[in-house]
Structure 1
Amino acid sequence: MQLDMHYYGTYAMARAAGLKPEVATTIATAAQFVDDNAADNDVDFKDGGKFLTEATAHHLASTENFDNDDQRQVWVPFHFLPGGEGESYGEKLLCRKDSANAQSVLSFALSLSDRNYAPELIGATAHIYADTFAHYDFSGVSSPWNYIDNSTLTILNENDFAEELKEYNKQKEKSFFENFTCLLPDSLTGGCAETLSCGLGHGAACTHPDRPYLHWSFVREETGDTIEHNNIETFTEASEALHTFFTDFAKHRPDLCENDPMEFSEIKAAVREVIMTPADKSGRISAWQQACKAGKITGHSETIPEYSSDGWNDERNMLNHTEFSPDAVQHSAYRFYQAAALLRTYILRDLLPSQGLIVA
């Protein structure tokens, strides 16, 4: 998923669950910041305190994406939560939509609802959870299970789109692979999609899994199976699942609520209308904003605050060399790193090993 869902859609679902605007903003910012937190610069305080910053994502054109150890620390826990299903190790690493593992991560986060970093934890967890509805059938490590027959990658509802959007889809595919190509030696740059992406995640499928209006299919080389993804349906399911998750959090923290939650059935048509919007990312963001402005999500008109990718990065950098380290806990940037560390440790050192999956 991209900014339109991880921030704007997440904010809308948190508000529909009855959470206060400032709480919904923190949750949505944390959800999106999982994708924007590529920093590894630690923070030092003048009193001798220090906190380590670990990346939860890397930029597309970063060579760190191809480091197998890094994939296991970043992509597996935060973007391609393993479903644990199947026979082989590689198959068990495949992300599965709304899996039992995903439900375990939700329960873990909700069990810490009383902590001061709870909104940041709920937001980061929402990112992991939402990605299971977009990234299912792919894994977060370079693997033959991510190889697809490129000739079979097909947008099934392309005839529903205007020519301008068809061209946009083609350009997105082209630019996606150009980002990978610039990192590889000349001997590999003429290769197929899975070679260019090193078989990582859904690289061979470009950004098809992340665009909510697409209905698409491919053939997995490892098994020869034809796999079809209807993003409209799964993103609608994801929105309902997030709404339920935030409603559960609201029950744990009534002090963070402004009103009773909307029933998802009341807003489902409006949410689906946004998801079906055939547009680029800015157009899809506009659709979420317009739906909230029209009162279709919370029952009254409101504006979704703009997201700033620099916000928490600037806040983290501001903490560097400040006087008193205990003050860090008052800042969302620090609380995000608390949440991310807990999630990474729980998933990699507890949840997955309990199923015999030793990943990192």
Structure 2
Amino acid sequence: MQIDGHHALTYVVARIAGMEKQQAEKLAYSAQYVDEATNSNPVRFKNGAMYDRIASAHKMLDYRNSSQLANHLSWIPFHFLPGNQGLPAGESPQGHFTKRLVCFPDSPISRDMLRMVMKYREQPFGLHMFGIAMHVYADTFAHQGFAGITHEINEVEEIEPVGHPHIQDKGLWARVKDEFLNFSLSSVAPLGHGPALSFPDRPYCHWSYLDSEDNLVVRDNPQIFSDAANQMYKAIRCYLAGDNTMVLENYDNIPGVQMNVIRQAFETIIHEEGEDRHKDWLHWIAMNKFGFGEEKIQFIAKGKGSWKQAARGKAIPIFGSEDLVAYKYREEFLHSDWKYFHDALKTFRLEIVRDILPEYGICVA
């Protein structure tokens, strides 16, 4: 998913689920910030204090640029949670180990992830951590069929539109056709859904492709995204109820009227750029199209109004260094949303890689 899904959709389903506005904003900001936290350098303060952090994303501005992407440690825990082909712990899929790494929607691993984050519900970073989990959980739907490694299992061929006029017209589809005329598929690194470009993340696309085993895969993104929204809604209901079991089947679906509006948004907000689709979603929220009131929200990743600047202030160059900067230390930093997010990020990655995945026989960096 892109910012329209991870920020706006997360906010919408949280509000429909009954989460109050301030909490929903924090949840949605955390879900989207997973895609913004691209720096892993320690933060230095003028008084000598330091704060360590990790990156949860790499800006994939060009899906063909694999030199830096291939070994990035963020892909599996934060964007391509292994699915074990939908099998529970103790059962392994037939075939090569890499098949365990392929994303599977709402897998037993993803349910274990949701239960894990519930352990931290009462921590200061608990809501931030649940927002991170909402990002990862949503991507198990959008990224299904792909793995967060560089491997031929991600290779695709013959991407085609399926009965959907929007991507057959002048815009996206024509540009993708040009892309493939200028760059062969072999030049696209088989990392994640790189060979499929951004089709998995576009909520309006109906498309098909041949996977690495020459199976025809037909994807109905509006339905996939609707399924993700419904399951996110149930997970948030569990969170609000303090229900650590995460048995989502015990909770009702999103009410039909509101689900219809969400589905309409997926199918009719069709800008090529995620940022443009995000603006339309925010407009729909402000117009009370989703039924929980006229509300104005925003997402500012950096600069004035961002969590980052509120926590650290402005950078101060370190004397004698061209690259290093420091920040004026304030006690408020320890209780800032930005620090809580990174506390949650580090805890989340450790629990996934150290504890949850090994239960499924999966060992990753």
Residues 37-116 of structure 1: pairs in structure 2 closer than 5 A = 37-61=37-61, 66=67, 70-71=71-72, 73-85=73-85, 86-87=93-94, 88-116=96-124
Q: Separation in 1 of the partners of 2:127 and 2:104?
A: 25
Aligned to 1:208: 199
**Partner-residue secondary structure (3-state), 1:12:** helix
Counterpart residue type for residue 232 of structure 1: P
Aligned CA RMSD, in angstroms, stands at 2.7
**Partner-residue secondary structure (3-state), 2:77:** helix
Aligned to 1:181: none
Identify which of 328, 347, 350 aligns with 1:345: 350
* Deviations 1:87-140 (CA, angstroms, capped at 9, x unpaired): 221111111111111111111112211111112111111100011110000000
Aligned residue pairs: how many?
A: 332
Counterpart residue type for residue 358 of structure 2: P
TM-superposed CA distance for 1:290, in Å, is 3.7
Identify which of 278, 284, 287 aligns with 1:285: 278
Q: Separation in 1 of the partners of 2:4 and 2:335?
A: 28
Aligned to 1:24: 24
Aligned to 2:156: 148
Unaligned runs of 5+ in 1: 179-189, 254-260
Unaligned runs of 5+ in 2: 86-92, 244-251, 315-325
Q: Would you say 1:274 and 2:265 are equivalent positions?
A: yes
- Which one scores higher on RCO, CA 8 angstroms, separation ≥ 6? 1
The TM-score normalised by the length of structure 2 is: 0.83
Q: Separation in 1 of the partners of 2:168 and 2:176?
A: 16
Q: In 2 relative to 1, CA 19–141 (structure 1 residues): closer, same or farther, beyond 3 Å?
A: same
Aligned to 1:256: none
Q: In 2 relative to 1, CA 203–295 (structure 1 residues): closer, same or farther, beyond 3 Å?
A: same
TM-superposed CA distance for 1:270, in Å, is 0.9
Q: Is the 8 A contact 1:218 1:226 kept in 2?
A: yes
Residues 1-360 of structure 1: pairs in structure 2 closer than 5 A = 1-61=1-61, 66=67, 70-71=71-72, 73-85=73-85, 86-87=93-94, 88-149=96-157, 152-159=158-165, 163=169, 166-171=170-175, 192-193=184-185, 195-221=186-212, 223-252=213-242, 263-280=254-271, 281-303=274-296, 305-310=297-302, 311-315=306-310, 317-318=312-313, 320-324=326-330, 327-360=332-365
Q: Please, which moves more after superposition, 278-287 or 225-234?
A: 278-287
TM-superposed CA distance for 1:278, in Å, is 4.6
Counterpart residue type for residue 224 of structure 1: D
Counterpart residue type for residue 171 of structure 2: E
Q: Identity rate of aligned residues, in percent?
A: 26
TM-superposed CA distance for 1:248, in Å, is 1.5
* Deviations 1:239-297 (CA, angstroms, capped at 9, x unpaired): 111111112212239xxxxxxx9953341111111111152135532442343233332
Aligned to 2:323: none
Q: Please, which moves more after superposition, 85-94 or 58-67?
A: 58-67
Q: Is the 8 A contact 1:277 1:287 kept in 2?
A: no
The TM-score normalised by the length of structure 1 is: 0.84
- Structure 1 or 2: more helix by fraction: 1
Aligned to 1:187: none
